[in-house]
Amino acid sequence: MSELKNDRYLRALLRQPVDCTPVWMMRQAGRYLPEYRATREQAGSFMDLCRNADLACEVTLQPLRRYALDAAILFSDILTIPDAMGLGLYFTPGEGPKFERPLRDLKAIEQLPIPDPEGELQYVMNAVRTIRRELNGDVPLIGFSGSPWTLATYMVEGGSSKTFATIKRMAYDQPAMLHLLLSKLAESVTSYLNAQIKAGAQAVQIFDTWGGALSEQAYKDFSLQYMQKIVDGLIREHDGRKVPVVVFTKNGGLWLETIADIGCDGIGLDWTIDIGKARSRIGAKAALQGNMDPAVLYSSPDSIRAEVGRILEAYGKGTGHIFNLGHGITPEVDPENAGVFIEAVHELSAKYHA
């Protein structure tokens, strides 16, 4: 494998010195780019795009052709694992992902298989291998998975939910049943992420999108302990280089200390917490990734630059910050504004690394 020409993302995650703050965007390959929409149409459907290694590679690389990003992230979906478990994933326009066979009883959970990453999920590994080859060492490749709790919400509810009533009822009435599901998911996610690392991912991120919907105790019981199991089971060195892991719990700012204690290298922050306060709370335990409100990208270039400057100042001097949005870039954003954001991070951050 070729040496990395730009490794500041990995260096910052490991809290090593960098020349400027690295930046990438969650959902950087996505609907805000006209070239993405064209490729998505060519693929036929979202999952067909995910399953075609060449097209998944194409959309992964599209934002890197436009912008001086410091990392690429695998183009895939968090629901690949539940899909491979045979729950019948489908997409309804305007309603998001749904499952034909949501999990409602113990027998269904007991019968769930652990997917083979190089079997049912080989299309993901093929995409990782293709992207890594085509990147040719320009920037690192990030692999990812949904967290067990977040995956379980879709699998039990049958799709996205505002109240999580069905899975929360299960959590309080039948906790052993939910723990069995989460254990199977933790095992599946661990093998899935390790396979991505073997296929060429140079860092991995666990997306716990719905962890923040839980109470503090329920978060520890049903989300955090399973992410801990995954972090403990991950390959942390490959190809002669450390493989950092980032944990991102949306609306998890209250629990930063407990997240830092599970041994991840980086913690993703949404925009509801001040990054300077987050840094003072966890100190040297982990790098921080975030955390501009994606809605700032609807504003003027001057406003975008001002907000980038404010967040950099809040974090302060030194390494350990990966600049990102507090969640994914939204489809209505003008691609020019994304460019302003990325340039501003590099330009305005240099003084904090001098």
Annotated binding site: 27-31, 77, 154, 209, 327
Contacts of 50 (CB under 8 A, 6+ apart): 56, 75, 76, 77, 80, 123, 124, 127
pLDDT score of 204: 98
Residue 311 counted as domain residue: yes
Residue 44 and residue 222: Cα distance in Å, rounded? 37
Q: Are 333 and 297 in contact (CB under 8 A)?
A: yes
Residue 3 counted as domain residue: no
Residues carrying an active site annotation = 27, 31, 40, 77, 154
Residue 79 counted as domain residue: yes
pLDDT score of 92: 82
CATH code of residue 272 = 3.20.20.210
pLDDT score of 3: 85
Contacts of 87 (CB under 8 A, 6+ apart): 99, 100, 101, 102, 103, 155
Residue 25 counted as domain residue: yes
Residue 202 counted as domain residue: yes
Q: Where do we find the tokens 């280089």?
A: 241
| Counted domains in the chain | 1
Residue 2 counted as domain residue: no
| Residue ranges in the chain whose pLDDT is less than 50 | 1
pLDDT score of 1: 39
Residue 39 counted as domain residue: yes
pLDDT digits (tens, 9 = 90+) for 73-93: 999 999 999 999 999 999 888
Residue 1 counted as domain residue: no
Annotated binding site for substrate: 27-31, 77, 154, 209, 327
Sign of CA dihedral 17, 146, 45, 331: negative
Helix (H) or strand (E) holding 321: strand 321-325
Residue 268: beta bridge partners?
A: 248, 289
Domain that holds residue 188: 8-352
pTM of the entire predicted model: 0.98
10: tokens are 């990995």
